[in-house]
Structure 1
Amino acid sequence: MRVAYWIPIAMLALVLAVVGFRYGLIRQGITETDVITLYAQKYLRDHADSGALGAAQISDCAARPAERGHLWTWLVVTCRPEGHTDAGSFRYRINWLGGLIEYIAPGEGAPRAPQT
């Protein structure tokens, strides 16, 4: 019967609807403030682990929206101890669900893969 041909398409549409609903619920509860605070706390840990000079504070971090060329990036959180230049900054690229896309440590030109 011809109805049997539509069953795989209907199942795929159902799976995609459930996944989209799930990600919608996750995204609904995330605010920019939550993401910035989370990565500012990660910056404190990364700064301590790197042995970088200066005292790290949560107020060292600032966020900006991603450039137009980065489709999957929502925010870029940049943390820099007071008195340091851009070469001494920690940079985190964040996706729309609050996940880490890229992490750039001070003095690194190329981004490192996120550690899970």
Structure 2
Amino acid sequence: MPRWLWWTPLAVLTVVVGVLLFRQGWIAAQMTETDVIDHYASRYVAEHGGRKTDCHAVPASAPRVWIEVRCGDAVVYKVDRAGRLVLPDPAEPAA
């Protein structure tokens, strides 16, 4: 068995991981505020039965949070730059 054949699985794995990481970076780079607001407004409608027009976004003041999507009177979705919901840190005091 040729020696280069032993390295083929490692090369294939490296290429696959590289493609997957490039894809994740591309998705994060192409995400806009509108995409995030629309996603969390749809989530609000599904969970609370309101309307999408009840939601708006404001810039966040917390360091880990990109924007806050506020829906209705009491629902706030804090979103990071990757589009993920930021859960409250139990170590931080409630504001």
User: TM-score when scaled to structure 1?
Assistant: 0.53
Classify the secondary structure of the residue corresponding to 1:100. coil
Question: For this pair of structures, how many residues does the alignment match?
Answer: 72
Q: State the secondary structure of the residue aligned to 1:92.
A: strand
Please state how far the C-alpha of 1:23 moved relative to its aligned partner.
5.0
Structure 1 unaligned blocks of 5 or more: 1-17, 49-55, 81-87, 104-109, 111-116
Match of 1:93 among 54, 57, 78: 78
Give the deviation of 1:25 after TM superposition: 1.9
Cα distance in structure 1, aligned partners of 2:31 and 2:75: 22
Q: Deviations over 1:23-46 (max 9, x none)?
A: 532321100000000000000111
Distance in 1 between residues matched to 2:24 and 2:52, nearest whole Å: 29
Percent identity, please.
37
Q: Which runs of 5+ in 2 are unaligned?
A: 1-17, 89-93
CA contact (8 A) 1:92 1:102 kept: no
Rounded Cα–Cα distance in structure 2 between residues aligned with 1:24 and 1:71: 21
- In the TM superposition, what whole-angstrom CA distance separates every residue of 1:43-90 from its partner, at most 9, and x where no partner exists? 011103xxxxxxx110000001111xx22210100001xxxxxxx421
